[in-house]
Structures are given as structure tokens and as C-alpha cells.
Structure 1
Amino acid sequence: MTIWPLVVAAGVGRRMQADRPKQYLRLNQRLLMDYTLDTLLTYPGITRLVLVLSEYDPYWPDSEFADNARILRACGGAERCDSVLNGLRALQTLAAEDDWVMVHDVARPCLQHSDLDALLEALCFPGAILASPTRDTMKRGRINAQGQADIVATVEREQLWHALTPQVFPLGLLIQALEYCRAEGLAVTDEASAVEHLGYAPRLVEGRADNIKVTRPADLALVAFYLQQTSESDQAINKRGAL
């Protein structure tokens, strides 16, 4: 099994209200994106990684991985699906059509190797994604004339999942799916939905609850806490191993 991580990092993160894209914000003295890249590049069996950046990204040289020869850069597009497709086309110069591509959001820095183990262990055609079962009561809403949201219905939550990343699919299939959606004018917000439009049913693999995405300012403190907890846990394990 050949796995190629593809990290999407071309967004500007307007909802963060920061002076730079969220992937370049610092958490515990390290860039957010460097946690993500470190986790993927240190996973056994990963040799190279595709990183999709904005064409005129002035912040990339600040990353500790800016000169890493294992990273293949690709140029971002207008939408997320365009950025992913650009990364996949760059990867075609190195990978086979049946190689697996692991697409991950750069703004999910708390990804753990244990989740990657579970995802790859469950992997089969047409692919699989990390996901989290919905635990809250779910409501369907509608915006009223005053611009406020009213409840329309309570949605059965038993079969609902939060889609996370990474999401893993064969290179050729994912290109086909994204190109089909583009040609048909279908909006897709993740890779799984593109593959679903071809009639396939990717597998759901339950992941850790702390694999959250940094979207708004309040998310930073929670992610920083999770990362600090992981660091302290690793230090404790290393200390016990040294005894």
C-alpha cells in the first residue's frame, strides 16, 4: 500500500479575523501548520507529501519545513476542491493511479498516529474517512424574514456523523470524482462527497474527538490545550522508557 498525504493549506481563514492565514498562527511557540506536517511526515511509510499553498504565499518561508525536500508544493485554486485537484495533478508525476491519497486539512493539527492506524487498517475501495458520530440533538433550521433562525424539525442523529480528515481514496478515482463534479457544477465541501456523486459509498472510521479544525478564534485555545496535553503525554512516555 502506497500512501501520499496531500495537505490543503491555500485558504486565507477570514473567519479567524487574524492578520495572516490561520495555518501561520503560532501555538505553543510553533506554527499551527508545522504540527500537522510533522505528524504526517513522521508516520511510518510516508516518504513524500504534497502541500497545496496559495500562489503568492509570503509566510511559507517561516515554516520549519520550508526547505524540506520531502514536500512537493502545488498551487491552490479558487475553491477547496480546485486546490485538491491541483495537488492531485502534481502528484500524478510521482504516483500510480491506484496509489492512495490521504487528503488532510492543514488546520487540524491535533491529528494522532493512532487515528491514521485505524483509518488505514479499515481502508478498502472506494476509500475511507475519519469521522465522529453526532452526539448532540440535531435541528434543521430556516432563516426567517428578520434574518433569524427558526427550528423546522429535529433530525434523527443515530445515523449522522461529522466528517473529519484525513480522507483517503485512490488517486485516479479521486481525480475522476472531482473532475466530474466540476463539469456538472456540483458543489463539494469534502473529497468523500465528490466520490459519493459517482455512486460510491466510502467507509466511515471513528476518529478521536480532539481532531478538531481551527476555524474561529475560540478554537485556538482548545487546540493549544490538546497539543500541550499530547506533548506532556509524550514526555511522560519517554521518561518512563528511559528508566
Structure 2
Amino acid sequence: MADIAGYVADLLAVQLQERRDSVLGMTTGTTPLTTGIYIEWARRVHQKELDLSRARFVNPDEFIGLPQNHPESYRSYMNKHLFNNIDVPLEHILFPNVEAQDLKAECERFDTVVQSWGGIDWQLLGLGQNGHICFIEPNDAIPSSSYIVNVAEENRILYAADFGSLADVPTQAVTTGLRMLMCARKIVLVAVGTKKAGVVARIVLNPVSTRLPGTFLQLHHNAVMILDEESAEGLPESLVNRLRRIK
């Protein structure tokens, strides 16, 4: 896992060399924690090996119905695992404000701010077991702009342990639209572990479909997928043999 964290940090360093004030799309979930991605970023910042002082951070989604300081909000997650450890100015951090009275207007505001920043330069992604990216859940159609999404029941069940019960897991979230994600200048998706092997194979081998949002990365002009041996288990051997090894 340290190899993956280091490799992702190397990719980020290259991005920041090209543009110190890059707009970075963040991700939450278990992958940054199991791989130590954010720990490595903080370590490099403290060792003066990585300069995030001018970077701006966009979190593309947030649960509806949770206050900002709720321990399971994505803002709390990012504060705990990254922002509080690298001293980021508040004005450099953007989340959807799910406490706004008019959430549709908030979605528009969020998109406008990202556009005023010049769009996403470098987007880090995880991969949900149902194929979602960000909180773009499988559906018959996916909006192009940020929107209110119903959290898939299978995902609510997965989150129940963290919230204490299924009843406490929010049923909706605000998430980025497909256009903003696909307009990111570079996408770095990380998936690790046997539990992700099936969905990794599905998004790589299946046709592009809104029923499997991760497949849209097949269409992106500059997307990188970083896997470990377990998450690559479902891919054909002929494909695995052509993959670049980090080591």
C-alpha cells in the first residue's frame, strides 16, 4: 500500500510542478485510508517535499441532512485525514453547502465557483462496489451538472456500521455532475482489495453505461487507474500482463 500512496503523491507532485495553484478534486471513503494516500501527502508537506500552499481543494459531494461537524460528514472526514494536518486556508476549500435552504441553487453556486477557479486540474477518485464514482450512482440518466442524488440502498447498508444503524444513514447527497468530472484535466482512480476486483473488471470490460458510472472513465482523455494485485484479479491475464508495474 505504501507503494500506491507514494506513486499517487508522485503524480500529484508532477501536477503541482506544472501549476502550483492547481485545483484538486478530492475523494473520501476507505481507499485513501487503507492506502495511506493522505498520510503520505501530509508527510511530504511536513518534510518540504510537497507544496500544497497554493492548491485549492474541491470535494465533489456531501451527505444531505448532516451538519458540517457531524463525524460522518465528508467535511469532517477531510478535516481529520488531510486538511487539519497540512494547514489549508479555508478559502482554498470548497464543499457543497448541504445546509443551504435551496439545494438546487446551491448546486448551481457550487458549479459556478469551480468554473471560476478554472475547473478541476487533477481529480482523485475511489470506486464504489456498485460502480459509482464521486456519488454518481447508477441510474437511467446522469445529470451533467451538480445535483441531488438518492444514495443507493446497497451503499447505505455498507455505511450503516459507521453511522451506528441503517436508519441513521442519509438517503440523499449532493454530488458533481458528469460534465464537471469528465472535464477534469487528469483523473487518478485508485482501487484496492479483493472486494473491488469484480467492479474493476466490470468498469474496464463493459460498455459505457449510466448504469455503471465508472465506465465513463473509458472515455476520458487522461485517466489513470491504480490497482493492487487483489483488485486486478478479475481482469484477463493478457491485460494484466500489459499493465505498468509501480515497482
- TM-score when normalising by structure 1: 0.30
- TM-score when normalising by structure 2: 0.30
**Greater relative contact order (Cα < 8 A, sep 6+):** 1
Q: Which of the pair is proportionally richer in strand?
A: 1
Q: Which has the larger radius of gyration?
A: 1
Q: Which of the pair is proportionally richer in helix?
A: 2
